Structure 1
């Protein structure tokens, strides 16, 4: 028997070659994991970051009193920072040292980028090139349907060839928006008598927390000192809005700012649904809280409208508040639950099930009511697999919130309205709190931390997994219709 061997290609090393550099080995390992399962790779990267930041927050140098922060608080803070949530079990302004605040600032910047986008950028740093696999992973963060078996309607997302430009947009928009907002905040803080150094640091801190939709504040009193400062609060709203609409929307607006006809259906649905939800929330808060002396009952009509607009904007994932959330009426708490659960735009710094998911569900309901066979929006037909993904995301989110609420209620014996509020805030990475998070036992802290992690990672990776699980089937089973409704 003749054995034929293949000569090694010149200039190319085999994987077992001892001459391979560590960076090359790491690059190959990353490419191998990303090729087999981009979603699994993203989860590993995200979870690894949480572990690293937990260790950083546990260091004595991170706390103001130079003591070791308890493990439950370190884990919770790390998850809240990386998931850009804004919930806290310690006083974020006074508990952490300057080093700790720097870690928080860096953490929210990393977490705000997005899971698969972050994985692609890290792969780019290691391999020094943006290959097809890295492009697919970054694209998957913008549109999970890309890993679907079959054609993808590229007009509904950023094209695969534009992923490099999108990653550039992510980096530049994050830097420029936060810089501009911080620069506009500094004069206002100086007018209020804040020292120059503190004014600069606080301005950049607030700007970062607004754009990343985190909601942490550098001072113990929160926004109390700025509750009547409309300029400052308006800048906070601008930062939260730009961070919540999503990087694909920012990319589209930057390319065609004056030509809405060239915007994709995703961009139009995101902007329209976001505007409707902001106005809807504002009107409801005015109606429900105008006679509440603890919130808006003691102020005039103009400030009531502004404060209601601010609260409506923050509930979608911003996390800032000029009032005590626990002072809201029960009806307002329920409205806030709804707005938080919806969240912001896809591939944004906001959380929730996303506004386009809600829009697709309503489009399906309208199409069914009109007897139409397919969903349509802005002169385009939306395929049915998008609806299946939307339903799956909603059910996944509702299940996470329900399980979390049941477990925390069982542990703490707290009332349903406050527990449900905290669970939704954690899942949607909103950061608003009724005060329950501050007094949770360690076991409940871990449950809420897992809720934050699943809310930030779970819906995206589930969508990717469901889309990737499509398989070719060469037969069709007999059809039978169950009774629905």
Structure 2
């Protein structure tokens, strides 16, 4: 325990691991399933890991396999996982800031303006307050719609709305319907609140708070906020147009709808792709040209210190600026009128390359363990698990136990890995009192 307290960053994965194991034990109880039977350990572990890591991937039919108690447990685990990720990330940033030197602490505080070094309580209350407000608003809209338009009894409408509001804001992706949200694909009163909730939850609280506070002067935003906000908007537009163009005539997805509904469905599905996990079209029936786009969007994910997964928008667009500066022969990487620290560039490269390596290795392992799976299906499933998206092309449920264990590890590592890795890199940063002679090897 003393060693853990010397390195508080290690408490984050330990806390998530304990939560997953507790959730597994609760889901194994006979009164958690619709048939009052003991759930096999692997199914309970997979579901608990998926809920706590806010992935939403399932190996059983969620609405039919679990009863009310089981679904409540999944909701609680998703809420704990979502808020735990955000608050854990917040606390890790504060710990990292305190462990750095004065100059580095000031830089961290400048880059994360809302992370006041001594104001943890106010920040965490704001995070919890925003989460509650967003989930209550989504719940109110969905309850009204299901009660009035679909003739749901009020208690059923309320429960369904609460469940999906928690899943949306926390980027979970579990649904109470066998076809997920396909039945509501053209209902804007259902899909748009969930899509907006997913986007807000996936932006990241530091960027969101600063953007709201300084909305009149976006040029004063920190680099992280600029990359997150403008990068997220760019990905939303690119993904929306990409899906619309590729799937426009596909009668198995968008082709069956009139053009206004095509716009709505494409926007909603694109919003859910980047770790949201819901689907309003059957992803197994997408055109093959859509898979590279979907995989790329899942891999990028959402904002830092958010409920979203992936390598993060900041990492992706920071690497884009690094490449742009190199192609132009610029000595420094600049975003707006700020120079990006070399350490941040190296951290982004490290996170991105390690993530690529994990996805590639996971894909190879899944192909090796599973007969008949096509390579792009394995890549899709592995990317979805690692980035905690939760979309599936049906491979997860058909995997052998070894394959499901591989996805469990990927979900846990994908949720915890980037946070722990980035913090460890920052904490291990040290200044040398000397420098070796420089040599420039040939690259390319």
TM-score bracket for this pair, using the shorter chain length: over 0.9
1:331 counterpart = 2:289: yes
Post-superposition Cα deviations, 1:414-451, rounded to whole Å, max 9, x if no partner, equal 11010100000001111111111111111111100000
CA contact (8 A) 2:93 2:423 kept: no
Which residue of the other structure, out of 243, 251, 254, is the alignment partner of 1:293?
A: 251
1:151 counterpart = 2:151: no
1:237 counterpart = 2:195: yes
Aligned pairs, how many? Answer: 437
Instruction: Give the equivalent residue in structure 2 for 1:5.
Output: none
Instruction: Give the equivalent residue in structure 2 for 1:38.
Output: 8
Q: Matched residues in 1 for 2:8 and 2:97: separation?
A: 13
1:429 counterpart = 2:388: yes
Instruction: Give the equivalent residue in structure 2 for 1:368.
Output: 326
1:48 counterpart = 2:32: no
Q: Matched residues in 2 for 1:464 and 1:374: separation?
A: 24
CA contact (8 A) 1:33 1:41 kept: no
CA positional deviation for 1:146: 6.7
5+ unaligned residues in a row in structure 2: which ranges?
Answer: none
CA contact (8 A) 1:38 1:116 kept: no
Post-superposition Cα deviations, 1:284-320, rounded to whole Å, max 9, x if no partner, equal 1112111212111232222222222222111111111
Instruction: Give the equivalent residue in structure 2 for 1:209.
Output: 167
Q: Matched residues in 1 for 2:176 and 2:227: separation?
A: 35
CA contact (8 A) 1:63 1:97 kept: yes
* Structural mapping, 1:170-209, within 5 Å: 170-190=127-147, 191-209=149-167
The secondary structure found in structure 2 opposite 1:151 is helix
Instruction: Give the equivalent residue in structure 2 for 1:281.
Output: 239
Which structure has the bigger radius of gyration? 1
Instruction: Give the equivalent residue in structure 2 for 1:163.
Output: 120
5+ unaligned residues in a row in structure 1: which ranges?
Answer: 1-28, 121-134
CA contact (8 A) 2:97 2:104 kept: no
CA contact (8 A) 1:79 1:452 kept: yes
1:66 counterpart = 2:36: yes
Change (3 A) 1:427 1:265: same
CA positional deviation for 1:391: 0.5
Task: Report runs of 4+ in structure 1 exceeding 6 Å deviation.
Answer: none
Q: CA RMSD in A?
A: 1.8
CA contact (8 A) 2:186 2:264 kept: no
Instruction: Give the equivalent residue in structure 2 for 1:20.
Output: none
1:251 counterpart = 2:183: no
CA contact (8 A) 1:396 1:459 kept: no
Q: Matched residues in 1 for 2:315 and 2:432: separation?
A: 28
Q: Matched residues in 1 for 2:193 and 2:218: separation?
A: 25
Change (3 A) 1:214 1:63: same
Q: Matched residues in 1 for 2:94 and 2:209: separation?
A: 13
Per the normalisation by structure 1, the TM-score is 0.86
Q: Matched residues in 2 for 1:278 and 1:146: separation?
A: 36
Per the normalisation by structure 2, the TM-score is 0.94
Q: Matched residues in 1 for 2:233 and 2:126: separation?
A: 23
CA positional deviation for 1:370: 2.0
